[in-house]
Amino acid sequence: MSLQFSVLLSLYYKESPTALYQSLVSIFKQTLLPDEIVLVKDGPLTNELENVLEEFLCKFSILKIVSLSQNQGLGRALNEGLKYCTYDLIARMDTDDVAKPDRFEKQLIVFERNSNIDVCSAWIDEFESDISNIISTRKVPERHWEIFHFAQSRCPVNHPVVMFKKSAIVAVGGYKHFPLFEDYYLWVRLLMNGANFYNIQESLLFFRASTGMFKRRGGWRYALDEVRFQRCILKMGFISQLRFAINVLTRFPIRIAPNSLRGFIYKKSLR
């Protein structure tokens, strides 16, 4: 394929060295390798994480490290990483997930065949402990008009498996610092700016899930942050007053529910 692309990752000190190793291995075992990998160190890392990076740096010249002196948060770290991405096509990846071998190849096919596409994501298989233990699959709609409608009630793109055009992201001001909602906020701004979306209707990535993940998506702080986000996209004109009310009333109880119940709802109802 003629298209060249970068991979963008952000890493901070709480990440597991084992998970980081598995994630990087999955990138270098793709059927189509990236032309560069930009990894942002979001603040100082542990020695164990540094050792993993050093092992890959010694083997692969396409790996570029961008170091931030202090932890900035995901949105700011990714914005910094965008500056160092040489190519317009950028594949996002989290440092604890595992890409399926043909992930990049299948997404590049979409961009080669559809020059008007700005954002291409896919489904993800959520697993616990090992990729053989799939607990759920997060499915997202395929076509642009379906994605636009879906976005008014739920996040329409799986961020860890997205590939997008840097030019489209820069055109809306890049990622914004909106803890826990950086990606959703970006998709809304892109949709309102006329960007074209497409989601491949199969899973292209193993997403690391845990009880901790469901815990992070709950509690009063998360619930209030979500209300703030919904109010933000209401003011932008992306959703109506009625949709705002529905979103808040249906989501707020889930956020303040016990962690075990929230996990059950995610696995059985929201996937």
Per-residue pLDDT of 152-197, as tens digits, reads 999 999 999 999 999 999 999 999 988 889 999 999 999 999 999 9
Helices of type H across the chain? 17-28, 47-59, 74-84, 103-113, 144-151, 166-171, 182-192, 211-216, 220-235, 241-256, 259-268
Average pLDDT of the residues in 248-269? 66
Provide the CB-side half-sphere exposure for 44 (13 A, CA): 2
Task: Name the band, by pLDDT with cuts 50, 70 and 90, for residue 8.
Answer: very high
Structure tokens at 220: 């009063």
- Give the burial string for 224-237 (b: 16+ CB within 10 Å, else e): ebbbebbebbbeee
Average pLDDT of the residues in 212-231? 75
| Measured distance CA(106)–CA(196) in Å, rounded | 18
Does the pLDDT of residue 262 top 60, yes or no? no
Name which of 114-123, 147-156, 255-264 the model is least confident about. Answer: 255-264
Say if CB 138 and CB 123 are below 8 A apart.
yes
| Measured distance CA(231)–CA(69) in Å, rounded | 33
| Residue 250, C-beta contacts closer than 8 angstroms, at least 6 positions apart | none
| Measured distance CA(12)–CA(73) in Å, rounded | 9
Torsion of CA 143, 96, 76, 110, to 10 degrees: -30
Cα distances (Å, whole numbers) of residue 259 to 224, 227, 263: 17, 19, 6
Calculate the average pLDDT of the chain. Answer: 92
Stated as kind and residue range, the H or E segment containing 8 is strand 5-11
Q: What is the pLDDT of residue 257?
A: 60
Say which CATH architecture domain 5-209 belongs to. Answer: Alpha-Beta Complex (3.90)
The domains of the chain are located at 5-209, 211-271
Q: What is the pLDDT of residue 223?
A: 82
